[in-house]
C-alpha cells in the first residue's frame, strides 16, 4: 500500500507548486482589481488569520501520536495560508504601485512589497524557508499591514497618520494572536505601539495608498478647474501654476499640501482640501510667484499632512 501510494504522493508534491504558481500568475494578470471589491480583501484577511491559527494549533496541540493527522493539517493550513497571502498581495499590490512616487523614499517600501509577493508565489521560498523561521511572524505582519493600510482608508474614508497607526496596530496584534502568543494582551499592546511608532517614524517612507496624482502638469494658468496649457519649460519672471488632480476613493475627505521648491530650497507651502469620488482625480492646484522668479530647477511636491509623498513634478525655469 505504501509503495503504491508513494509515486502518487511524489506526483502531488511535484504538481502543487506548479499549480500554485499558475494560479498566482493567473490571478495577477487576469483578475481586475477595483476599489469596490475591498470587501473581498477583508474576507481574505479573515481567512488568512483562521488558517494561521489552525496551523499554530496543529503544531502545538497535535503530538507524535497523531503524526499523520498533524502532517495533513499542517500541510493544508500552510497551503491555504499561503494562497490567502498570495491573493492579498496580488489584490493590493497594483494600488501600492500606482500610489508610489518612484523617485522618492516611499519606493523602497513598495519594492519590499513586490518582494513579498514573490515569496508567497514561489513555494520553496515560502514553505521551506519562511515557515521554519521566526521571520514568518514579521512576514505575515507586513502582508497584513499592506492590506490594512489600503483597506482602512477605502472602508472608512480615513487617510491620515491615524490610518497607518490603526493598520500597523491591527496587523501586529492579529499576527501575534493568530500565531498563538503566550501573552496575548502583551502582543496586542506591542502591536498597537509598534504600529503607531512605525507610522510616526516612517510616514514619509510609505506610499499614501490609495491616493495618487493623476496626470499632473505645470501651466501658465487654470481656467474652469482645468489647466490653460501644459508647460515643459517655464520662462522666468512669470507666475507658475501646478495642476494636480489627486485620486481618492469615494467618501474620503482629507487635505494635501503643495510644497514649492527651487534648487533644493523650499519656497512656500499651500494646503488644499481633498474629496474623493472623482475617477479622474479631485482637481487641486496652486500658483507660485517665487518659483519662476529666476532661472533654476523647480520641484512641486504633493504631500499628505503627515508628510507622505503623493506625487512629485519638476520643470526647468530659463
In the predicted model, what is the mean pLDDT of residues 273-297?
A: 94
Q: Which of 76-90, 151-165, 182-196, 301-315 has the highest mean pLDDT?
A: 301-315
In this prediction, residue 3 carries a pLDDT of: 45
Locate CATH 2.60.40.10 in the chain: 212-317
- Indicate the pLDDT class of residue 1, thresholds 50, 70 and 90: very low
| CATH number for the domain running over 212-317 | 2.60.40.10
How far apart are alpha carbons 192 and 198 in whole angstroms?
A: 10
Say yes or no to pLDDT of 266 above 90: yes
Say yes or no to pLDDT of 273 above 70: yes
Q: Give me the chain's average pLDDT, please.
A: 80
* Residues pairing with 273 in the sheet: 255
- Indicate the pLDDT class of residue 284, thresholds 50, 70 and 90: very high
211 vs 77, more confident: 211
- Indicate the pLDDT class of residue 66, thresholds 50, 70 and 90: low
71 vs 238, more confident: 238
CA nearest to 45, candidates 160, 141, 187: 141
CA nearest to 101, candidates 201, 248, 242, 208: 208
In this prediction, residue 8 carries a pLDDT of: 59
Query: Using one digit for the tens of pLDDT, what is the confidence trace for 157-207?
Result: 887 777 888 888 787 777 666 555 545 555 555 566 566 656 665 668 889
109 vs 130, more confident: 109
225 vs 9, more confident: 225
Tell me, letter by letter, the H, E, C secondary structure of 249-308: CCCCEEEEEEEEEECCEEEEEEEEEEECCCCCCEEEEEEECCCCCCCEEEEEEEEECCCC
8 vs 92, more confident: 92
Query: Using one digit for the tens of pLDDT, what is the confidence trace for 125-153?
Result: 766 676 665 566 677 788 888 988 888 88
In the predicted model, what is the mean pLDDT of residues 269-277?
A: 94
In this prediction, residue 6 carries a pLDDT of: 58
Say yes or no to pLDDT of 48 above 70: yes
Long-range Cβ contacts of 103-110 (<8 Å, 24+ apart): 103/312, 104/309, 104/312, 105/204, 105/205, 105/309, 106/204, 106/205, 106/206, 106/207, 106/208, 106/308, 106/309, 108/205, 109/202, 109/205, 109/206, 109/207, 110/207
In the predicted model, what is the mean pLDDT of residues 245-253?
A: 90
Amino acid at each position: 500500500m505504501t509503495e503504491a501510494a508513494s509515486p502518487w504522493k511524489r506526483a502531488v508534491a511535484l504538481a502543487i507548486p506548479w499549480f500554485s504558481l499558475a494560479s498566482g500568475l493567473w490571478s495577477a494578470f487576469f483578475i481586475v482589481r477595483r476599489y469596490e471589491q475591498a470587501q473581498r480583501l477583508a474576507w481574505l484577511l479573515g481567512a488568512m488569520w483562521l488558517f494561521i491559527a489552525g496551523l499554530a494549533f496543529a503544531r502545538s496541540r497535535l503530538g507524535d501520536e497523531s503524526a499523520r493527522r498533524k502532517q495533513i493539517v499542517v500541510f493544508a493550513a500552510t497551503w491555504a495560508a499561503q494562497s490567502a497571502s498570495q491573493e492579498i498581495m496580488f489584490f493590493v499590490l497594483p494600488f501600492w504601485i500606482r500610489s508610489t512616487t518612484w523617485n522618492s523614499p516611499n519606493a523602497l517600501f513598495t519594492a519590499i512589497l513586490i518582494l513579498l509577493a514573490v515569496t508567497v508565489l514561489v513555494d520553496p521560498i515560502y514553505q521551506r524557508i519562511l515557515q521554519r523561521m521566526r521571520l514568518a511572524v514579521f512576514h505575515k505582519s507586513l502582508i497584513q499591514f499592506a492590506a490594512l493600510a489600503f483597506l482602512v482608508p477605502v472602508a472608512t474614508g480615513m487617510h491620515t497618520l491615524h490610518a497607518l497607526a490603526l493598520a500597523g496596530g491591527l496587523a501586529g496584534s492579529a499576527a501575534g494572536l493568530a500565531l498563538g502568543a503566550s501573552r496575548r494582551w502583551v502582543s496586542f499592546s506591542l502591536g498597537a505601539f509598534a504600529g503607531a511608532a512605525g507610522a510616526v517614524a516612517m510616514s514619509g517612507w510609505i506610499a499614501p495608498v490609495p491616493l495618487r496624482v493623476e496626470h499632473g502638469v505645470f501651466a501658465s494658468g487654470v481656467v474652469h478647474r482645468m489647466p490653460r496649457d501644459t508647460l515643459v519649460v517655464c520662462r522666468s519672471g512669470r507666475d507658475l501654476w501646478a495642476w494636480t488632480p489627486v485620486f481618492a476613493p469615494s467618501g474620503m475627505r482629507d487635505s494635501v499640501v503643495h510644497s514649492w521648491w527651487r534648487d533644493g530650497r523650499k519656497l512656500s507651502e499651500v494646503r488644499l482640501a481633498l474629496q474623493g469620488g472623482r475617477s479622474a482625480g479631485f482637481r487641486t492646484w496652486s500658483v507660485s510667484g517665487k518659483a519662476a522668479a529666476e532661472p533654476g530647477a523647480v520641484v512641486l511636491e504633493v504631500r499628505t499632512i503627515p508628510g507622505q509623498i503623493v506625487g512629485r513634478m519638476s520643470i526647468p525655469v530659463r
